Amino acid sequence: MLRSGWGELTAWRRSVFTDVLSAVAATAERMGRSLAAADALIAQYDALPGNTPNDVRFSLLQRAERLLTTTPTSPRPNQPNTLRNIVHNRRRDFDDRLEELQEVADTNRNTLSGLLDEVSSLLPLTQFDATGLDLTPFRDRAVVFARDLLDRTMALRDEVTTRFTTAGAALAEYDQAVTGQDKVAATTAALTAMIGEDVLVVPEFTPSDALADDLRRARRDSDELVEHLVDAGRDFPVDDWLHGVARIREAPRLWERVVLLSDALRDRGGLLGDLFDRAEPALEPIQLPFRENDHWLGMEFAQGTSITEDRLLYTAHYATDPPLLGGGNQVGLLLDEWTEVIPAVRETTGIAADLDRPDSEPPQAMLLVVPPVKTGTWQTDDLIAAIADTYELARLRAVEPSHLDDTAYAQLLPATVMSATRRPITISTDLAVANLRWRSRD
C-alpha cells in the first residue's frame, strides 16, 4: 500500500532533527563571534596604561558589555573597575551558555522531542543575543506532519476496509464456483484486491489425457522439429529465433537478457554460484497439434511444407529435465503470446468494379441559334459566330464576385446582369417599359 511504511516518517524526523541542530549551531556561531569581539575589547582595556582617561576605559567596557548582553548596565558606575567586574560576570554567564549550546551538537538524545526539550532548557537567549533562537517553527512542523499522518492513516484505514470487503466478496464467489477456472478467477481476484494489481498469481492446471499425450510426443520430437534448419546451416535455430523476436517484443527481450547475464554469475561460488552454477536456461520448441515428421513454422519452412490447419508454436524452458509434461498438476509462467498470419502460396480472390452504366436519357441542354438578319437562309459564318459568342458568354457567367475582388471591377459590384433584346422574340427584361411606368408615376 502506498505511503504506508515508516521510511517517510524517519526521513522527516531526520530532516527536522538536522534543522534544529543547524539552528542551534548557527546561534552558537553568532554568539561565539560576539564573545571573541568582547574578549578583544576586554584585553585592550586590560592593556591600557595607568594614566588612561576614564572616558576611554568606560568606552571600551561599554562596547564589550553590549556584545555580551542585551541589557547593558544603567546607570553607569562611577569607577571603571566596578564596570570591569560587571563585564567579567556577564562574560562568564555568556560563555557558560555558549558552551551549553555547543554541547548540543554532541547530544545523546535520539528522539526529536528529546532534542527539543534539551534545547528548550537553554532558552530564552534574549539576555545574551538579540536574535535569539525560536523553536516554534519546528514544533509547528511537527503539528502539521502529525495532522498529515492522521489524514493518511484514515485514508489507509478506508483502503484496508475496501480491500477486505472486495476480497471477501471474491472468496464468497470462490465458495460458489463449480469449475476450476472459476475458482482460479475468484482466488486471483481476492489476492489482487488484498495485495494489489501487480500480484503474480500462478495457478496450477491439469491437462487432459489427449493434450498430455500430445505434449509428451511433441517434446520427444522437439529436436526433429528444427532438423531441417540445422541441415540448412543454422547451428542454433531456436537462439536465432529468440534474438530476432527479442528485437521487437519486450518479454522475449527480457528473457534474452536474463540468459546472457546468467553467464556472468557462473562458477562464482557462494549462494549466487550455487544458484547459477547450472546449464544455461534453454528454450525447447514444440508444435501442436502433434504431427509425425513435422517441421517448425517459427522460421524458414522446410521444402514442400503445406499449411492446412492452425498451429500452436509453444517454445518454453522447462524447470526439470526431462520435463514433467503429462498427467497430474502442472504450473508455469506465460511470458508472452501473439498471433501471426502466414500468407498462403495461392489465394482465390474476387474483384468488384464500379462501372458507370450508359445514360438512358438525352442531354437536357440545347443551343437554339437564329440568324441575325432575316434573309430566309443560313450563313455558315453566322452559325460559327453564334457558337463562339455562346462560349464567351458562358465564360463570363462563370465569373463570381470573388474573382473580381482584387480587380478594378470590384467597385462596380454588386451589379445586375440580365438578358436584353431589341425585339420581343424571346423572354427578356424590358427596362424601357419599367422607365415609362416610373415616369407616369412622376
Q: What is the pLDDT of residues 291-335, one digit of tens each?
A: 888 899 999 888 888 888 889 999 999 877 655 555 678 888 889
Dihedral sign, CA of 316, 321, 327, 328?
Answer: negative
pLDDT at residue number 439: 53
Between the CA of residue 23 and those of 46, 96, 286, 432, what are the distances in Å? 35, 19, 71, 106
Sign of the C-alpha dihedral, residues 401, 406, 407, 409? positive
Please tell me the number of Cα atoms within 13 Å of 65 on its side-chain side: 20
Residue-wise pLDDT for 416-429, tens only, equals: 566 666 776 777 77
How far, in Å, CA of 66 to CA of 142, rounded? 36
Question: Do residues 267 and 273 lie in contact, with contact meaning Cβ atoms separated by under 8 Å?
Answer: yes
Q: How much is the pLDDT for 415? A: 64
pLDDT in tens, 84-134: 999 999 999 999 999 999 999 999 999 999 999 999 999 999 999 999 999
Is the pLDDT at 273 greater than 70? The verdict is no
Q: Is the pLDDT of residue 3 over 80?
A: no
pLDDT of residue 13: 93
pLDDT band with cut points at 50, 70 and 90 for residue 57: very high
Cell numbers 526431462: residue: 322
Residue-level pLDDT at 279: 72
Half-sphere exposure of 66 toward its Cβ, with a 13 Å CA cutoff? Answer: 7
**Residues belonging to the chain:** 442
Q: Omega into 322 within 30° of 0, i.e. cis?
A: yes
pLDDT at residue 435, as a whole number = 65
- 154 phi, psi to nearest 5 deg: -65, -40
Query: Residue 434: its pLDDT value, please?
Result: 63
Query: How confident is the model at residue 16, as a pLDDT?
Result: 95
Q: Full-prediction pTM beyond 0.75?
A: no
Greater confidence (343 vs 105) lies with: 105
Mean pLDDT value across residues 276-288: 80
pLDDT at 167: 95
| Mean predicted confidence (pLDDT) in 214-228 | 89
**What gap in Å lies between CA 156 and CA 150, rounded to an integer?**
10
